[in-house]
Amino acid sequence: MSSRNATLMIRSKDELKRIIEIFNKAPLNSNKQLNFIAFREAFELYLQHYKRKENTIFYTEQMEAIRSSMNRNRTDFV
């Protein structure tokens, strides 16, 4: 492993919630922050669906919309 790389393994929803809390308090720079916001939104949708287990098509469509708007596909930079 190079000294410029790090690996973080997240093994539970609670661990991921903690990481999200950290990045909410200390925002990333540039486009990465916008991708984080989209990721956080997708995670919140996942948690809603996980609890209810209904409207699978709605959640799938919402997740796909978020995924397709990230990284190189981004058209909204605000």
Q: Give me the tens of pLDDT residue by residue for the chain, a chain 78 residues long.
A: 557 888 889 999 999 999 999 999 998 887 788 888 888 998 998 888 877 777 778 888 888 888 887 776 666 655
Quote the pLDDT of residue 11: 94
Task: Pick the closest to residue 39 from 15, 51, 23, 52 (CA basis).
Answer: 23
What is the model's pLDDT at position 14? Answer: 94
pLDDT at 43: 92
User: How far, in Å, CA of 66 to CA of 37, rounded?
Assistant: 10
Task: Give CA–CA dist 36/51, Å, rounded.
Answer: 23
Q: Return the pLDDT at 46.
A: 87
* The model's pTM: 0.70
Q: Helix 56-68 to helix 31-52 angle, to the nearest 10 degrees?
A: 170
d(CA 5, CA 22): 20
Instruction: State the greatest distance between any 2 C-alpha atoms of the chain, in Å, as a whole number.
Output: 45
